[in-house]
Structure 1
Amino acid sequence: MTDRITIRGLRVFGHHGVHPEERSLGQTFVVDLVVGTDTREAARTDDLAATVDYSSLVDQVVAAVAKDPVNLIETVAQRVADLCLDQPGVSEVEVTVHKPQAPVGVPLDDVAVTIHRSRT
């Protein structure tokens, strides 16, 4: 079984979407991450270098979501998953990208895409 580090509710302003107003005005996206890693060495040594530095990871995810607008939140989720899997010690990741202000023409709480990716 893989240990997990969970980050929930990361808010990032971006300009993703298929509609011109989404690209020009932008909106807030919310990202949840569950990163699979082995934390035994970190727990044994109490050493940050032996685990995923989630503070650094958050900074990288914010930059990845905020840059280079794309049409789909599926693309944003894959971008974040690839970034996470590039981190040393990360074996798998679950990424959810929420788009709570999605322009669908009716009131709603949220639209989200969740993907699961692993090194294998």
Structure 2
Amino acid sequence: MTADIGMDHLGDRIALRGLRAYGYHGVFAEERREGQYFTVDAVLDVDTAPAAASDDVADTVHYGELASKLVEVVTGEPVNLLETLAERLARVCLAGRGVRRAQVTVHKPEAPIPHEFDDVSVTIVRAR
């Protein structure tokens, strides 16, 4: 049984937060050479009604598979900017079954900043 995407389900979300992976992204040569951990948060707007009705993972975003695909991006081809990395991650999210919108935050807590700080992050929102 497939439910239509309707106004009743516009608030449905699947979130994957705190996904850590080691990558070699950054503007500076030492970042590209030594690498560092990045953390990804992905919040997907998706109608969960079909999966709720069928109780079948095939009718929703399989968050285990999504996590693996996001890690592949982070550990893959280096980029200079978090903005570029976030864009690539958002494309992966939007390719998921029934995903209407993706909010992706990329955290770089070890960014080369000569001051005490907790985190640097970029958040983007993309829709189909």
TM bucket, shorter chain: over 0.9
TM-score normalised per structure 1: 0.97
Q: For residues 77-120 of structure 1, what are the alpha-carbon distances to aligned partners after superposition, in whole Å with 9 as ceiling and x for unaligned?
A: 0000011111221110000000000001111100000000000x
Runs of 4+ in 1 over 2 A off after TM superposition: none
Secondary structure at the counterpart of residue 110 of structure 1: coil
Count of aligned positions:
119
Alignment of 1:18-33 (within 5 A): 18-33=27-42
RMSD of equivalent CA atoms: 0.7
Indicate the residue corresponding to 1:87 in structure 2: 96
Q: For residues 28-49 of structure 1, what are the alpha-carbon distances to aligned partners after superposition, in whole Å with 9 as ceiling and x for unaligned?
A: 0000000111110111111111
Distance in 2 between residues matched to 1:92 and 1:58, nearest whole Å: 17
TM-score normalised per structure 2: 0.91
Please identify the structure whose Cα radius of gyration is greater: 2
1:110 aligns with 2:119: yes
Secondary structure at the counterpart of residue 69 of structure 1: coil
CA contact (8 A) 2:37 2:110 kept: yes
Post-superposition offset of 1:2: 3.6
User: Which structure 1 residue ranges, 5 or more long, are not aligned?
Assistant: none
Match of 1:74 among 83, 99, 104: 83
1:55 aligns with 2:64: yes
Q: 1:46 corresponds to which letter in structure 2?
A: D
Match of 2:23 among 9, 14, 17: 14
Q: 1:95 corresponds to which letter in structure 2?
A: V
